[in-house]
Chain A
Amino acid sequence: MHSARWVFTRLLGVGLAAALAVVTLSLAVTGQLSLYINPDSAWFAVGMAIVLLIGAPLTFLLPLGAEADDGHGHAHDEDHALDRGAPRRASLGRVAAVTGGVLSGAIVLTMLVLPPTALSTQLALERGTGAPPLFAGSDTVALATTGDTASFGVGDWASVFATATDPDAFVGKSVTLTGFVAPDDDGRGFGLTRLVITHCVIDAQPATVPVATDDLSLPAGQWVSVSGTIRPDPDGTLRIAAADVTEIDPPGDPYEY
C-alpha cells in the first residue's frame, strides 16, 4: 500500500517533469519548438530539460519513500499525521490529491502522445481586439522609414500602418507577405493576418494588414501569399493593393516573433 503511494509521488513529480522535458527536447530536435515558444528562449528550455533528464535517473538511487525518511529508521506517513487532527478533512484532502494527480497525469500523457500543432486560424481570428497591436513600437517605424523593410512580416507592417506619422513615405513600396485570410468589413478585400508571439503561444496576438483585391472568394482562415504595392486609401490609411494572391498550405512556421 505504502509503496504504491511512493510510486505515485515519483510519477507526479519527477515523472511529469521528465515527460515534459522529453516533449521539449523532441520538439527542439524536430524543429517544432517554435510552434510553442519564441525561438529566442529555446536555449533555456532545452538546457533545463537536459538538466532535468540528468537529474531524473539519479533520483532512482533514492529508495522509494526515502525522501520522507527521517533517519530514525522509519518513514513518516503524512496522511497519518493528517488523520490525527481531522479525519474527514484528511480524507477529503487525500481525494483531492489523488484526483489532482490523476488529472495532471492524464493531461501530460495527452501532451506526450498528441502530435505538435499550431493554434488554429479560427482561434486566431477570435483573438482580435479590434485595436492595432503595437508589437515593436517606434523602432519598427524608424527602421521602416530608412527603407530597410526586406525582412518585415505582417506584424511589422501592421505596426507601421497603425503608427506611421508620415504614411506617404511608404506609398509605392512593393511587399510580398504570407498570412491567412481574415474577413474585412468594407468588402474591398480581406485582412492578411498572422499571429505574433512575444514569449509563448499563450501571449499570441493577431496582426492584420488590409489587402485590396477583386477576388473576394477566399474563405476565412485560408493561408495565402500576397504580392502587391502599398497604396493610400482616400482617408490616408494604408492598404496593400494585391497584384497576386496565391493560396498556399499552412507553413511549418505559422507565427512571427
Chain B
Amino acid sequence: MTPPAATTRTRAGLWLAGVGVGLAAIAVLVAIRVFVPELFPAGVQDRLQDGVTLALSVLVESLPFVVLGVILSIVVQVWVPPGAIERWMPRSAWGRRAVLSLVGMIVPVCECGNVPFARGLLIGGFAPSEALTFLVAAPIVNPIVIITTHQAFGFGDGILVARLVGGYLVANLIGWLYSRHPDQDALLTARFARSRELVACETGGRGRRSLAQLVIELRAVMPALVIGSALAGAVQVLVPRDALLAIGSNPVYSIVAMVALAIVVSICSNVDAFFALSFASSFTPGSIVAFLVVGPLVDLKMIALLRTTFTTRTIAGIVVVVLLSAFAIAIGVNLLA
C-alpha cells in the first residue's frame, strides 16, 4: 500500500505537470502571436482584411461577456445548492416566466453571455420554455440597454417604451407557446440533453466539477460565437448597405429593411440604439423599433449561439414569432407616431 505522504507527493507532481503543460501551450500561442504576424508586413487584400477586422472586433468585445456568462453558469450549476433558486420563484408557470424575464435586470451579462447562463438554468432544473423566456427578454429588459436607448431616443416617438414592453411581451409569448409543447426535452439538441444528464451525475469536488463545466461550456459556445461573428463580418463587407437603405421612408418596406439590417449586423444590444439613431432621420420610427427588438433576439451571432442548445426547429419557431411580433409592434408604432 502506498504511504499517504507518497500519494500526496505524486498528486502534487501531477498537478504541477498538468499546469506546466497548460502554461507551455499558452506560451506557444503567445509566441505565434508575437512572431508570425511579422511575416505579413503588407497585410492581405483589403476586403478580406476588413472582414477579419470586423469579426475580430465582435469577438474581442463579446469574449469577456461570454467568460462572465460561463462563470455565472458554473456558479448556478456547481456552487448554488440544487433548488435554491427555484425556492424564490413563484409557483405558477406565468409568474415564473414573468420573473425570469426580469432576471436580465440583475444579471450583468449581455446577449452572448446569456446563452451559457441559460444553459446553467436548464441544467439547474428550469424548463426549456422558462430558459427561453429569460433568453429572449434579457438582452432588451436590462438596465444598460434601457439607459443607452433612453440616451439615444429619449421618450421620442415611443421608441423606448415600445422596445421594452415589446421585448417583455415577446419573451413571455415565446415562453408560453413553448410551454404548451408536450415534450419539453424535444426542444433541446441531443448533445445538450446529454451534457445535462452528465452534469446531473457528475462526481468529484466542486473545483473539479467547475473545471469540467468550464471545458464543456466553452466547447459549446466558442465555435458558435466564432462562426457567428465571422458571418456578421463577412456579410457586412459583401452586402452593399445602400441596397437596404434605398427604401427607408416606406412604412412597410422600411420595416423589412431594418429587420434585415438587424439580423445582418449583429450589434450588441447595449449599443445598438446609437447605431439605430443614425437611421432615425431617414427611416420610420416603427422600423427603428423593429430593428431594436429583432437585433438582440435573432441576429446571425445569436442564432449560432442558440443552436448550441436548441434544435433548428425550435429556433425557426422563435425567429418566426420574433419577426411577426416585431412587425406588429412596428406597424402599431408607425400608425400611432
Tally of chain A residues near chain B (CB < 8 A): 87
Q: Given that A55-B214, A71-B204, A113-B32 are known contacts, is A107 also in contact with B279, CB under 8 Å in the complex?
A: no
Q: Quick check: A100 and B19 within 8 Å, CB to CB?
A: no
Binds A, one of B41-49, B77-85, B164-172, B329-337: B41-49
Interface size class of B (residues with CB under 8 A): 35 or more
> What 0/1 readout, one digit per residue, does chain A (54-80) give for beta carbons within 8 Å of chain B?
011111111000111111100010100
Q: Quick check: B29 and A111 within 8 Å, CB to CB?
A: no
Expressed in whole angstroms, the Cα–Cα distance for A59 and B25 within the complex equals 12
Q: Quick check: B55 and A37 within 8 Å, CB to CB?
A: no
Q: Quick check: A132 and B60 within 8 Å, CB to CB?
A: no
Q: Does B2 contact A (CB under 8 A)?
A: no
Q: Given that A24-B63, A58-B22, A113-B37 are known contacts, is A200 also in contact with B215, CB under 8 Å in the complex?
A: no
A118 closest partner in B (C-beta): B53
For A218, the chain B residues whose CB sits under 8 A away are none
Q: Quick check: A18 and B36 within 8 Å, CB to CB?
A: no
Q: Does B173 contact A (CB under 8 A)?
A: no
For A201, the chain B residues whose CB sits under 8 A away are 53-54, 57
Q: Does B23 contact A (CB under 8 A)?
A: yes
Q: Quick check: B277 and A134 within 8 Å, CB to CB?
A: yes
A101 closest partner in B (C-beta): B223
Expressed in whole angstroms, the Cα–Cα distance for A19 and B26 within the complex equals 8
Q: Quick check: A199 and B61 within 8 Å, CB to CB?
A: yes
For B190, the chain A residues whose CB sits under 8 A away are 78, 81-82, 85, 93
A53 closest partner in B (C-beta): B26
Expressed in whole angstroms, the Cα–Cα distance for A26 and B212 within the complex equals 28
Q: Does B201 contact A (CB under 8 A)?
A: yes
> What 0/1 readout, one digit per residue, does chain B (265-278) give for beta carbons within 8 Å of chain A?
11110111011011
Residues of A within 8 A of B (CB): 9-10, 12-24, 26-27, 33, 35-37, 41, 44-45, 47-49, 51-53, 55-62, 66-72, 76, 78, 81-82, 85, 93, 100-101, 103-104, 107-108, 110-120, 122-123, 126-127, 129-135, 137, 198-203, 205
> Can you show 19 pairs from A to B with CB atoms below 8 A apart?
A12-B222, A13-B220, A13-B221, A14-B215, A16-B222, A18-B29, A37-B61, A67-B212, A67-B215, A68-B198, A100-B223, A101-B223, A114-B49, A129-B279, A129-B282, A200-B58, A202-B232, A202-B236, A202-B267
